[in-house]
Amino acid sequence: MPPLPLFANTSMTRAVRLALFGLTLASLPGLALMPTPALAQTQAAYAIPAGPLGKALTQFGVQAGVTISFDTDQARHLTSTGLNGSYTVEDGLARLLANSGMHAERQSNGGYILVANAEQSALQLGATQVTTNQLGTVTEGTGSYTPGTIATATRLVLTPRETPQSISVVTRQAMDDFGLNSIDDVMRHTPGITVSTYDSERTNYYSRGFSINTFQYDGIPTLRDAQYSAGQTLTDMALYDRIEVLKGATGLLTGAGGVGGTLNLIRKKPTADFQGSIELGAGSWDNYRSQIDVSGPLTETGNIRGRAVAAYNDKHSFLDHYSRKTSVFYGILEADLDEDTLLTVGADYQDSDPKGSSWTGSRMIFDAEGKELDLPRSFNNGPKWGSWAQYTRTAFATLEHSFSNGWVAKGQYNHQINAYHAPLGALSQDSGNQSSLFARKYVGETTSDSLDAYATGPFELFGREHELVLGQSVAISTWKNKAYNALFASGTNSADFYTWDGDIPEPAWVKYRDFDQTTRQTGSYLTSRFSVTDEMHLLLGARLANYQVTGNSKSKESGKVVPYAGLTYDLNDNFTAYTSYTEIFQPQTDYRDRNDKMLEPDEGKNYEVGIKGEFFNGALNTSLAYFEVHETNRPELDTSPGAALINDSPYYGTKSKTKGYEAEISGELATGWQLQAGYTHKIARDDNGKKIATWEPEDQINLYTTYKLTGSLDKLTLGGGARWQSEGWKSISNAGLRRSEVLTQDAYWLVDLMARYQITENLSATLNVNNVFDKNYYTNIGFYDSAYPGDPRNMMVTTRWNF
């Protein structure tokens, strides 16, 4: 049977060319004396790193002593996750070719020839093409809800099963299925994550009860400012292939990083073949969206490839007198400088232009007399002129070289500007119906430059192959902020609270404070993965971190060692037990005590133990984990008498212990049936045994699934999902009664539905309905003694044309 071309557009002249990787058995005398059938069934140890499929097959042929024949075009754009351990020839080839759409057929001469699968199983990650790189597997085009490989935890390109930490990945397919157009949408969809909304432009994300304050872009860490937001939590998903959420402390790669976890946003990459799409959407509250995405080769040989993405969103809201316009542009170029060297350059641009922004929540909880207010969900405490406009500008470059010995060297640079212009106001009730506006304006910009360089590859020790990463990073971030007080004209700052429509004249602005702060981080890191046995792998690593803050705030830490250790053991073909340990180091520039002094760094330890499962060649992944986090200086709001005299939001540090467990499943359960689901439980207590972080729920369930029908209904895909969280509570101030009260958000379910119809081969229409039962709930309570309601029932229809 002749090899079939993998791609439909492969010409016959290209299809008949075979690349024969021969080798002489003279160099392998022991194998030469062995009969061919016996050779095929004999196990041998292999250590082949992830990389281009052609190169992996070449190395396998050399190590196994067999000839492998295939069409070079079949493997040109494919990659392999590598091979480590002892396998027979046929088992080793099967693993190298997993998800490639091909299998190896043994010939009468003892060699092997690659043949396209007659029927592509829906349980394979890639129906026709799987692309991996030093960031892991590209999920676009796979149709899967689970990744092939990831590198967020250690820089090593590993499968989820091989990674000794909990990690959730929202793939491109999941984003497309459920209309996850913003990072807020993605995080609400992610198992174990709580999205807390401060006001119309600011959200915060929590994992295991801790704020996630570290973002990565293609693996480059950037500390975000949750107080002033500056665009990161408004990120549009048009640019990204997937979002990886690593749970727990991540100091190995981030240095000064959060306890809760890290978000790694992986950008879309250019494709080897031309492809394009146009999307048009319309939804509730005059929500209109358009998007175009074009990608493909820019030269005849395909050695230069490009991609451009543009998106525009014009939406109103369930909130009164509020709207937002968002513009997004993205461009990226890849150039093969030679067969082993890849240069990538790109830039993106995003503007968010809101009108009628709310501030410090959207509504008060108590009136001036201390009675609980009964306000509609649509109530917006911001004026019509209120606007927290934000923009992001990013330029990036990557140079990557693969060596013949399996090593890869990579350098990455990321330059980002996040800025905001925010004249804001929040309505307060003075007495009865009379109300006035508390207003301020903030104008600022954060400029960040990050450089990361590392080398990774195999090495031999004690007769076994192992893996190593050596890296160095530098990050400099400068934040400049100007704050203005409001000066209202006489008689203009007054409104009827119960007929409030946001109509108050904008005041004059008088600057009262400048803020200038520079944060510098440098770090050297090392990660090693030792193959102790075929089943057991030991991961050891450490980061030597230096951290310095200058300007209005000052802090310095030098020579801080952040260790990392992990151990995995393959119990059988499907399950791996693991454990991991890392330490915590987080300077607290955003937290000040009652004397306006910055808190000392939060330090501690993070433990995790669990079991992971992998099925259908990685098309389905499962995990079950138990974790503990021990902190020495966790920030907690200081509500003691007189604490707010100097700093209106004072904090103090306390020891704490957080423990819990989480379970997750993602991928394809059966042909056409995709699923991502998870359950998380956590409890946090201070050193006196008192529960803390009580607003984040102790228990959460996330479940999202789709099923592509068969037979006469095979053009229809149906799906849905549900989110549940247990009750949360927080003590807030009731100024009218001069006391604190506990406000509780009861447990609640939210249900979403989706349906897609494939009208033609290239045209589809998708309907998404969120909060189907129109549940009334809060996404945050207690922020400046206010509350913010969750979105009511809403829907979106999106048409997509692929060309």
Task: Determine the average pLDDT of the residues in 71-97.
Answer: 74
Backbone conformation region of residue 230, classed left if phi is above 0, alpha if psi is from -120 to 50, else beta: left
Determine the pLDDT at residue 115.
80
Alpha-carbon Rg for the chain, nearest whole angstrom, is 28
pLDDT at position 746 over 60: yes
Which residues are within 8 A (CB) of 648 and not within 5 positions of it... i.e. 6 or more apart? Answer: none
Could you tell me if 643 and 595 are in contact, meaning their C-beta atoms sit under 8 angstroms apart?
A: no
Lowest average pLDDT, out of 18-22, 212-216, 300-304, goes to 18-22
Q: Where are the beta strands (DSSP E) in 143-218?
A: 167-171, 193-199, 202-207, 210-211, 214-217
Task: Determine the average pLDDT of the residues in 719-730.
Answer: 95
Q: Which of 263, 233, 260, 259 is nearest to 245 (CA)?
A: 263
pLDDT at position 212 over 50: yes
- The alpha carbon of residue 494 and the mean position of all alpha carbons in its chain are separated, in whole angstroms, by 44
Determine the pLDDT at residue 37.
47
Q: Which amino acid is at 315?
A: K
Which pairing describes strands 261-267 and 275-283: parallel, antiparallel, or unpaired? unpaired
Determine the pLDDT at residue 708.
95
pLDDT at position 789 over 70: yes
Whole-number Å distance between alpha carbons of 179 and 750 = 16
CA atoms within 13 A on the CB side of 731: 10
Instruction: State the average pLDDT for the chain.
Output: 86
Determine the pLDDT at residue 89.
87
371 sits in which H/E element = none
Q: Which of 223, 220, 202, 201 is nearest to 212 (CA)?
A: 223
Q: Give residue-wise pLDDT tens across range 346-385.
A: 999 999 999 999 998 888 899 888 999 999 999 999 999 9
Determine the pLDDT at residue 2.
36
Could you tell me if 254 and 221 are in contact, meaning their C-beta atoms sit under 8 angstroms apart?
A: yes
Per-residue pLDDT band for 224 (boundaries 50, 70, 90) equals low
What is the pTM for the complete model shown? 0.83
Which residues are within 8 A (CB) of 476 and not within 5 positions of it... i.e. 6 or more apart? Answer: 448, 449, 450, 518, 519, 520, 521
- The two structure tokens encoding residue 614: 């992998």
pLDDT at position 432 over 90: no
Q: Which amino acid is at 174?
A: A
Whole-number Å distance between alpha carbons of 641 and 214 = 33
Considering the chain, what percentage of its residues have pLDDT values greater than 90? 60
Which residues are within 8 A (CB) of 641 and not within 5 positions of it... i.e. 6 or more apart? Answer: none
Lowest average pLDDT, out of 72-81, 338-347, 429-438, 668-677, goes to 72-81
Task: Determine the average pLDDT of the residues in 83-97.
Answer: 82
Determine the pLDDT at residue 32.
35
Task: Determine the average pLDDT of the residues in 644-656.
Answer: 73
Determine the pLDDT at residue 604.
83
C-alpha pair distances (Å), 175 with each of 163, 241, 333, 487, 523: 24, 9, 24, 45, 34
Task: Determine the average pLDDT of the residues in 302-309.
Answer: 96
Task: Determine the average pLDDT of the residues in 232-260.
Answer: 83
> Taken in order 643, 646, 649, 650, is the CA torsion positive or negative?
negative
| Other Cβ atoms closer than 10 A to 442 | 18
Determine the pLDDT at residue 131.
57
- The two structure tokens encoding residue 330: 């993205």
pLDDT at position 293 over 80: yes
CA atoms within 13 A on the CB side of 262: 28
Q: Give residue-wise pLDDT tens across range 15-73.
A: 333 333 333 223 333 333 344 444 455 677 787 877 678 777 877 877 777 778 765 55
Which pairing describes strands 214-217 and 261-267: parallel, antiparallel, or unpaired? parallel
Determine the pLDDT at residue 125.
35
pLDDT at position 334 over 60: yes
Task: Determine the average pLDDT of the residues in 689-712.
Answer: 94
Whole-number Å distance between alpha carbons of 187 and 779 = 13
> Higher pLDDT residue, 744 or 649?
744
Per-residue pLDDT band for 118 (boundaries 50, 70, 90) equals low
